[in-house]
C-alpha cells in the first residue's frame, strides 16, 4: 500500500473523502512533522511538482483538496478505513455537484462582474450546467477580459452548445444598466425555460478608513451606486423584460457576504452595501413569490479583493486575521465555493429570500 518503503513510513496525504491519495510533496514534510491534527491543502496542478501522485489523479481539477496526516499518527495499520477516524466525511468537489446529469434548463443566464475572480469561475461552472442553445451573457467593465473569457468557454463547451455574449457595461451608471437590459431583450426568450441572474458585480470600497471619516455624501453615493442601486435597477429591469409566464422559471442570486450580517471595523462601505443588498432581495422575495431569490455568501475567497483586504484594512486586528487565513491556507478557491452555489441552484429547495453561507452547507 502507499505509505511504506523499505520498512519506513512515507509521508502520505489523504483525499478529502478519506482515501489515500499519494505521498506528500517534499516541501510540506516539515509542516507535516509538526502537525497535531490533519490540515487541508490544495492539490498541485499537473506537472513535475505533482509526480508524487498516482497517474490517475493528474487529471483532477487543481482546486481539489487533500488532507495532510500528522506524521506521528501514521502507522502500519493506516489505511483508508482507519483514515475515517481522523477526518470527518466531507465531499470533494465532484461530490458537491451530484453525479446525476442534472442541468439548469435551457436558460438565459446573466453574470455580472464576470471578467475575473468569482464571476469568471462561475461562468465556467454554469456553462457546463446549461442545456444546448442556452444564452450566457457575461457583463463587466473590461472588454478584453470578457472576450478572452468567451473564447475559453466556447473552447470548453463547443461553438454550437452555448450562445455566449459579452456586454461591456459599468453598472454604476444608468447607461450601463440600460445597455445590459437592452442586450438581454435581444435574445429569443420565448424558447427559454429559465432566466437566471447572478448579481456578482461589487467593489470593496475604501477599507483603510473608519466610519467617521466619510463626510462626503458624494463619495458614499458613488459606492452605493454600483453595489446597491445598480444591482436593484438591473434586477428590476431583467424581471420586467422577462415577466412571469407559464413554464418560465426565474431565479435571482445575490452574491452576499458575512459582512451583510456582521460588522467589520473599517469596512463600513462594504458592510453597508452587503446588508442593504440582502434586505433588498428579501423584500423582492416577499413581493414576487414566483421568483426564486437567494443571497449566497461564498466564504473567504482567494481573489484580488482578499489581497486588498490584507493590504489596506484600517483595522489592524482585521488585517492580521486576513493575513493569518492566507498564510494558513484557509481561503477558499472560487471553484470550491461555486460548486456549492450550483448545487443549491440544481436542488432548488432553498427558502426564497434566504441568506445561505458556504460554511452552513
State pLDDT tens for residues 22-48. 444 444 444 444 545 455 555 444 443
pLDDT of residue 101: 65
> For cell 483508508, what's the residue?
80
In a domain, 346, yes or no: yes
Asked if pLDDT for residue 21 goes beyond 50, the answer is no
Q: Is 113 exposed, middle or buried (0-12, 13-18, 19+ CB in 10 A)?
A: buried
Q: How far apart are CA 238 and CA 185, in angstroms?
A: 9
Question: Which 3 state secondary structure label does DSSP give 332?
Answer: strand
Output the pLDDT for position 41: 53
Between 266 and 11, the higher pLDDT residue: 266
Shared domain for 307 and 205, answered yes or no, is yes
Among the ranges given (124-128, 145-149, 154-158, 275-279), the one the predictor scored with the smallest mean pLDDT: 154-158
Q: How many domains does the chain have?
A: 2
- Examine residue 92 and state whether it is found in any structural domain, yes or no: no
Cβ atoms within 10 A of the Cβ of 311, count? Answer: 12
Residue 98: inside a domain: no
Residue 207 lies in a domain: yes
Q: What is the structure's pLDDT at 16? A: 38
User: Residue 79: which domain range?
Assistant: 4-87
35: buried, middle or exposed (CB in 10 Å: 19+, 13-18, 0-12)?
middle
Average pLDDT over residues 57-62: 36
Mean pLDDT of the chain: 81
Residue 63 clears pLDDT 90, i.e. is over it: no
Expressed in percent and rounded to 5, the helix, strand and coil fractions of the chain are 45, 20, 35
Shared-domain flag, residues 22 and 163: no
Pairwise pLDDT comparison (254 vs 95), residue with the higher score: 254
Give the pLDDT confidence of 76-121 residue by residue, as tens digits: 333 334 334 333 444 444 444 444 568 999 999 999 999 999 999 9
Q: Would 255 be classed as within a structural domain? A: yes
pLDDT tens sequence across 165-220: 999 999 999 999 999 999 999 998 888 999 999 999 999 999 999 999 999 999 99
3-state secondary structure of 247: coil
8 found inside a domain: yes
Confidence band for 262, pLDDT divided at 50, 70 and 90 = very high
* Same domain, yes or no: 208 and 315: yes
User: Are 178 and 283 part of one and the same domain?
Assistant: yes
Residue 94 is assigned to a structural domain of this protein: no
Amino acid at each position: 500500500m502507499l505509505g511504506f518503503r523499505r520498512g519506513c513510513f512515507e509521508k502520505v496525504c489523504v483525499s478529502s473523502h478519506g482515501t489515500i491519495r499519494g505521498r506528500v510533496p517534499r516541501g510540506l514534510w516539515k509542516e507535516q512533522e509538526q502537525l497535531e491534527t490533519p490540515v487541508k491543502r490544495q492539490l498541485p496542478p499537473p506537472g513535475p511538482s505533482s509526480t508524487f501522485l498516482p497517474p490517475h489523479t493528474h487529471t483532477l481539477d487543481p482546486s481539489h483538496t487533500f488532507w495532510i496526516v500528522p506524521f506521528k499518527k501514521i502507522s502500519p495499520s493506516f489505511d483508508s478505513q482507519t483514515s475515517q477516524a481522523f477526518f470527518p466525511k466531507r465531499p470533494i468537489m465532484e461530490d458537491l455537484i451530484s453525479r446525476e446529469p442534472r442541468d439548469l434548463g435551457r436558460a438565459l443566464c446573466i453574470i455580472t462582474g464576470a471578467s475575473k475572480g468569482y464571476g469568471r469561475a462561475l461562468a465556467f461552472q454554469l456553462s457546463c450546467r446549461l442545456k444546448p442553445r442556452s444564452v450566457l451573457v457575461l457583463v463587466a467593465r473590461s472588454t478584453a477580459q470578457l472576450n478572452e473569457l468567451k473564447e475559453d468557454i466556447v473552447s470548453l463547451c463547443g461553438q454550437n452548445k452555448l450562445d455566449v455574449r459579452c456586454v461591456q457595461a459599468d453598472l454604476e451608471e444608468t447607461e450601463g444598466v440600460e445597455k445590459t437590459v437592452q442586450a438581454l431583450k435581444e435574445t429569443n426568450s420565448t424558447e427559454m425555460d429559465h432566466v437566471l441572474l447572478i448579481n456578482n458585480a461589487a467593489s470593496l470600497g475604501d477599507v483603510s478608513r473608519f466610519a467617521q471619516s466619510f463626510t462626503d455624501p458624494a463619495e458614499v453615493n458613488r459606492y452605493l451606486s454600483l453595489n446597491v442601486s445598480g444591482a436593484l435597477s438591473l434586477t428590476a429591469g431583467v424581471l420586467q423584460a422577462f415577466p412571469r409566464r407559464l413554464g418560465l422559471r426565474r431565479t435571482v442570486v445575490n452574491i452576499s457576504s458575512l459582512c451583510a450580517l456582521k460588522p467589520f471595523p473599517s469596512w463600513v462601505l462594504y458592510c453597508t452595501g452587503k446588508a442593504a443588498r440582502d434586505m433588498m432581495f428579501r423584500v423582492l422575495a416577499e413581493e414576487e413569490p414566483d421568483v426564486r431569490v437567494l443571497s449566497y455568501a461564498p466564504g473567504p475567497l482567494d481573489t484580488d479583493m482578499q489581497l486588498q483586504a490584507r493590504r489596506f484594512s484600517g483595522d489592524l486586528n482585521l488585517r492580521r486575521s486576513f493575513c493569518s487565513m492566507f498564510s494558513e491556507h484557509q481561503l477558499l478557491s472560487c471553484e470550491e465555493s461555486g460548486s456549492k452555489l450550483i448545487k443549491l441552484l440544481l436542488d432548488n429547495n432553498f427558502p426564497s429570500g434566504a441568506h445561505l453561507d458556504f460554511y452552513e452547507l
